[in-house]
Structure 1
């Protein structure tokens, strides 16, 4: 089995020149690069067109001014193999293969994928059967479709075996800072652990999110996970195919074999990987670990206006083996001055309802808690229905 040197991936993931091979689909990729403000060279390759998105077209790969750092290939399956071979021969930095119909369909598709792997030589290949790469740090869209992300200098990297889930994740509105989004497809060339290593070499990647349909190489994956632990970069994983039917779906979707849920869960726990079970959990967890640095003994402060809510927060924190931060003398004094002797000043804090509608008092109460030593602040807020409650 050929191995991708993850150290060479930077040229593909952070290119200064991109060849776009194909028609309508790569025209979309060029448009996305322009929308994201990519400042490098873009060279469309199409023998039947004179220009593409205001750029002159080259007839063949051999006509390019120099080997591109990256290429997007969106042509039919058989032509994809030929084009990949030509790119490898020129010394290109790597390629994204959009076409499907390879190993994920079984039968002859498996042979086509073997031919594709042989054609790439040692050149990094993303896909086939994938959307590719969105690098929001540099404005790079090796991505022949629509996307909803924006430039981001520092944030999480999300690596997904599902192309459509990746597209959906570009549209997230949960405030997750995303530096990279990668759709991996069948992973003929670059594997999950290669992406992890490459992301770990980028100091502005704060966390790594994974949507997996199975671990391709458990040993290499574990080595990457250990390296992430050493560098204190959290990994969050959502793995599908945990049911019998789900496993069949992943087999025909991205040519992946998923493990039993208990087995994979134990594997992730052993290597310090945070496992979640839904896309909202994936995004919210990534947001949390991206914005708040890892801590071996994290502490929490909780604010609510109900004793019942404060008690529920206390139970939840105990269940998760976390701790509430002790309030300092200064915090006690500030909170007593704003809340008075009718409130028990403690953490978790039930500030009652006495200061509702008093913006100055509520601001001082919240700030007094926020400025403590804790890692996390949790606010329990209930939003009333409009039109039936006093607007204060």
Structure 2
């Protein structure tokens, strides 16, 4: 089958799985909660149960096997022992079931389970499988819930899609009492066939969806994810991403600094930025951000009006707000004059604005808020803590939030109420706020971050809107390199020189003094050559500033003797004698490495031996335009050091960008063979003099 036709077929079948007309549950007594939950959530389709040893489950008559089903169900929920899964999947595929949800575990998440998962995929054929080892799938909006347990009660007015590797994440967000309108809750499990990208692509067809949240533990197919992200961006649907599971990349790729300076979590962040996803750090931050996105109009700027009834939260909250990029400018002179007409003489107009003394007077409070919001603003935020039910009379709080919402509506401003404590905001209060156009956020820090994240979402949307499709989409990356070859420095530099990257003139010699050095311009540097020497200076395998051939040869012999003691297991027979770059303005680190499931990641940072200490780096994914590379370089905190800061010599920044662009193209053009390469340092010379790669390491696939 043509690959495009196969993808469309899978997509169509996945849509049927999410809103089926019939379902079959296959397994034993553990299915009873899932069946009961399915019916309790209002599923109106036909339900069958397959079990060879029971007459009924959860009040539904069982059939002994798949062949005995009266018709072909659209979705199957599988919870049978691991050893039976492959056979069951094969039978379901053979009769034409649209798709299966595999709750059964014991596959690639377990040591030795990889082959069983491959067998599972083979048995499925064209039938898509969500899982294995997944909690299930819920489409609350269409009352199609196939979950192993309770994942919340939601009506048909949901507008948020939750997609997650893990079931607990879905359970926590779905079962929380925080007014999150969930439409879809999809547990991916092992992603043997169906990935986050596949589900995102399908839920974007649902016009009810206004925001998506994806919890990643692994990213399987960045090309498909980028295509789905492009659709989300063009449709104006924000995606909130959270990444769990950080790896010690440095242990896997010890030949370079790049791996340690740009771990897989950094690369995931670069991917999210490229795709326009807003990355958050915790599940509660994700939850509150989703609420801000769906319960308030789009926030298009950072100018924030901050009102509170507490001096404590005026101070604490403004610290958090400004740390998260909210712009709390003081009221203009005109607004301040109007505000002070309604304030007692001992309270002054400010931002944050303390309105505690006026909160009981509805008209006065409304006049204050109208004046406070009269400036050019982008968002209005009200910070208080509602009393617990049965505590103080909430009338003052109700008046305050109602008139605040009214004043914001009159100005056309997106508005949020942030309850300083997450648990003390009743459902009835939240529903009133939502009806008034006020997003009810819970928890001071999560709430203010949610406002900032909503702004960030708009900013990213604007950035993505200016980019072409090609600047967002990523190429297919299915290579999982299991074996690679490390090149020594001379060989790595030869590869770079072949694509036009400047490297110093050099000669490769052995300890015997038989090679002429007369063609070199002194001073020179001598380095031991071995692919196993990743940190030569620490082993005494580098000697700098050698002024004569005799000094160079002496350095060769000294290094050889030193390595026999410090690195006796590393065989070194060749030495690089290389001209030194004497007019460098500054040094850069430039590294590229392949990340399974994502592709090529380019890291740019301030370089040299202090690279790890400075940790001033930025990472983007390839392919990247020249403009993106230049923007990334100029975004480094210490970039000004190579750009003429305080009278320093201005470096040849354009030449450095050219070099990085050639380096990126080298990695791309080598395709599946490329694993990792690094230039450290890339010496930036004075304006007009270029940039030179004076050290390099490289690994290519066997």
Return the index of the structure with the highest Cα Rg: 2
Inter-partner Cα distance in structure 2 for 1:19 and 1:45: 7
Note the alpha carbon deviations across 1:246-266, whole angstroms, 9 max, x for none.
Answer: x99xxxxxxxxx962221112
Shift of 1:7: 3.4
Q: Which residue of 2 aligns with 1:377?
A: 416
Match of 2:122 among 113, 118, 121: 118
Match of 1:277 among 254, 277, 281: 281
Note the alpha carbon deviations across 1:114-155, whole angstroms, 9 max, x for none.
Answer: 111011111111000111101111222211223333334222
Check conservation: 2:233, 2:276, Cα contact below 8 A: yes
- When residues 93 and 382 of structure 1 are mapped into structure 2, their CA distance, relative to the original with a 3 A threshold, is closer
Inter-partner Cα distance in structure 2 for 1:382 and 1:165: 21
Q: Tell me, what secondary structure is at the counterpart of 1:133?
A: strand
Inter-partner Cα distance in structure 2 for 1:295 and 1:283: 17
Q: Which residue of 2 aligns with 1:32?
A: 37
Match of 1:19 among 16, 19, 24: 24
Match of 2:358 among 330, 355, 360: 355
Inter-partner Cα distance in structure 1 for 2:281 and 2:421: 25
Check conservation: 1:303, 1:378, Cα contact below 8 A: no
Match of 1:300 among 261, 281, 304: 304
Inter-partner Cα distance in structure 2 for 1:328 and 1:67: 68
Match of 1:289 among 293, 306, 315: 293
Inter-partner Cα distance in structure 2 for 1:138 and 1:326: 48
Equivalent runs, 1:162-181 vs 2, <5 Å = 162-181=166-185
Inter-partner Cα distance in structure 2 for 1:192 and 1:382: 33
Shift of 1:52: 2.0
Equivalent runs, 1:323-342 vs 2, <5 Å = 323=327, 339-340=343-344, 342=346
- When residues 365 and 10 of structure 1 are mapped into structure 2, their CA distance, relative to the original with a 3 A threshold, is same
Q: Which residue of 1 aligns with 2:205?
A: 201
Q: Which residue of 2 aligns with 1:55?
A: 60
Inter-partner Cα distance in structure 2 for 1:111 and 1:145: 28
State yes or no: 1:210 paired with 2:210.
no
Q: Tell me, what secondary structure is at the counterpart of 2:43?
A: coil
Unaligned runs of 5+ in 2: 253-261, 366-395, 423-702
Equivalent runs, 1:96-115 vs 2, <5 Å = 96-107=101-112, 109-115=113-119
Q: Which residue of 1 aligns with 2:662?
A: none
Larger relative contact order (CA 8 Å, sep ≥ 6): 1
Inter-partner Cα distance in structure 1 for 2:401 and 2:295: 20
Inter-partner Cα distance in structure 1 for 2:333 and 2:140: 44
Check conservation: 1:232, 1:294, Cα contact below 8 A: no
Shift of 1:223: 1.6
Match of 2:190 among 179, 186, 205: 186
Q: Which moved more, 1:4-13 or 1:18-27?
A: 4-13
Check conservation: 2:322, 2:328, Cα contact below 8 A: no
Q: Tell me, what secondary structure is at the counterpart of 2:272?
A: helix
Shift of 1:94: 0.7
Match of 1:74 among 61, 76, 79: 79
State yes or no: 1:134 paired with 2:173.
no
Inter-partner Cα distance in structure 2 for 1:330 and 1:382: 34
Q: Which residue of 1 aligns with 2:231?
A: 227
Note the alpha carbon deviations across 1:258-295, whole angstroms, 9 max, x for none.
Answer: 96222111221122111111121121122222222434
Check conservation: 1:331, 1:369, Cα contact below 8 A: no
Inter-partner Cα distance in structure 1 for 2:304 and 2:343: 21
- When residues 50 and 312 of structure 1 are mapped into structure 2, their CA distance, relative to the original with a 3 A threshold, is closer
Inter-partner Cα distance in structure 2 for 1:86 and 1:305: 64
Check conservation: 2:292, 2:416, Cα contact below 8 A: no
Check conservation: 2:79, 2:104, Cα contact below 8 A: yes
Check conservation: 1:228, 1:235, Cα contact below 8 A: yes
- When residues 367 and 74 of structure 1 are mapped into structure 2, their CA distance, relative to the original with a 3 A threshold, is closer
Shift of 1:213: 0.8
Shift of 1:358: 5.6
The total of aligned residue pairs comes to 371
Check conservation: 1:304, 1:381, Cα contact below 8 A: no
- When residues 334 and 16 of structure 1 are mapped into structure 2, their CA distance, relative to the original with a 3 A threshold, is farther
Q: Which moved more, 1:205-214 or 1:297-306?
A: 297-306
- When residues 25 and 344 of structure 1 are mapped into structure 2, their CA distance, relative to the original with a 3 A threshold, is same
Q: Tell me, what secondary structure is at the counterpart of 1:203?
A: coil
Q: Which moved more, 1:95-104 or 1:146-155?
A: 146-155
- When residues 330 and 41 of structure 1 are mapped into structure 2, their CA distance, relative to the original with a 3 A threshold, is farther
Q: Tell me, what secondary structure is at the counterpart of 1:204?
A: coil
- When residues 325 and 134 of structure 1 are mapped into structure 2, their CA distance, relative to the original with a 3 A threshold, is farther
- When residues 34 and 157 of structure 1 are mapped into structure 2, their CA distance, relative to the original with a 3 A threshold, is same
- When residues 166 and 259 of structure 1 are mapped into structure 2, their CA distance, relative to the original with a 3 A threshold, is farther
Task: Tell me the TM-score normalised to structure 2 length.
Answer: 0.48
Q: Tell me, what secondary structure is at the counterpart of 1:296?
A: coil
Shift of 1:205: 1.6
Q: Which residue of 2 aligns with 1:149?
A: 153
- When residues 280 and 364 of structure 1 are mapped into structure 2, their CA distance, relative to the original with a 3 A threshold, is closer
Check conservation: 2:302, 2:325, Cα contact below 8 A: no
Unaligned runs of 5+ in 1: 249-257, 384-392
Inter-partner Cα distance in structure 2 for 1:259 and 1:69: 42
Task: Tell me the TM-score normalised to structure 1 length.
Answer: 0.83
Cα RMSD (Å) = 3.3
Q: Tell me, what secondary structure is at the counterpart of 2:63?
A: coil
